[in-house]
Chain A
Amino acid sequence: QKEVEQDPGPLSVPEGAIVSLNCTYSNSAFQYFMWYRQYSRKGPELLMYTYSSGNKEDGRFTAQVDKSSKYISLFIRDSQPSDSATYLCAMIPPSGGGADGLTFGKGTHLIIQP
C-alpha cells in the first residue's frame, strides 16, 4: 500500500459545480498537509497548507483534514475553467527543525467544462 492514495481521475464537472478532491494516507506521523495545483507542463504550485484537523478556507477553496480517519479533502466552490489542472495532495511529518521532503499523492486530473 502506498503511503498516500489519490484517485487519478480524470474528474470532469460543469462550470460552477462544487468539486471535491480527496486523499487517504497510512502514515500517522504526517502532520502537515498541503494541496498543490499543477497546470500542464508547469511545476506544482502551493494552493493550501494546513496543520491541524478541521477546515481551512481561502476564497473558493476549502481544505479539510480528518486525522482520525487519515483523510484529507479539497473543496472548490463555483468552479471555473481556469481551475482545470492536476491537484496533488502532499504531506510531511514534523521534523527536527530542518525542512523535509514531501510525500505526494499521484494527483487528480480535474476538468471544468465551460
Chain B
Amino acid sequence: DAGVIQSPRHEVTEMGQEVTLRCKPISGHNSLFWYRQTMMRGLELLIYFNNNVPIDDSGMPEDRFSAKMPNASFSTLKIQPSEPRDSAVYFCASSVQGVLAKNIQYFGAGTRLSVL
C-alpha cells in the first residue's frame, strides 16, 4: 500500500501567489482530512470530507482557503492569495468508516509551504 501521497513535498512562493496542494488518499478510504501544523498552534484540522462531501470546514482560517474533492482518489487545498502567515506544514490524512477502523487516520508526509 502506497499510503497517503501528498505533492509537492516543498513549496516556496511569494506573497499574493496562488498555491495548490494535492493529496491522494489510501485506496478504499472514504474520509479525507486536511490539517495544518505550526510551532505556535500545533496540528489543526482545517476541513474534512466524507464520501467526497465536505462535512466540516470550520477550521479553514479565511476565505482565501478552499478545498475540493472531485473524486474518491484526489483532493486539493488551495490558498489564493497566499500570505507569509500561511507558512506551515500541511498534512492530508485519510481513514475508512467502520466500527473497528473508526477514526484511525493515516497521514501523508506533508507539504512544507513557505510564503515569502
Q: A residues bordering B, Cβ < 8 Å?
A: 32, 34, 36, 41-46, 49, 88, 92, 95, 97-107
Contacts and interface: CB of A to CB of B under 8 A. Distances in A.
- The dominant DSSP class at the B interface is strand
Contacts of B43: 44, 88, 102, 104, 106-107
Interface stretch (B12-20, B48-56, B73-81): B48-56
Contacts of B95: 99
- What interface size band does chain B fall in? 20 to 34
Interface of B: 4, 31, 33, 35, 41-45, 48, 50, 55-56, 59, 91, 93, 95-97, 102-110, 112
B109 A46 contact: no
A49 B106 CA distance: 13
B91 A102 contact: no
A42 B3 CA distance: 13
A interface, over-half SS: loop
B42 A101 contact: no
Question: Which of B4, B31, B107 has the most chain A CB atoms closer than 10 A to its own CB?
Answer: B107
A98 B102 CA distance: 8
A63 to B, nearest CB: 14
A46 B106 contact: yes
Which of A88, A97, A102, A107 is packed against the most chain B CB atoms within 10 Å?
A102
Contacts of A46: 104-106
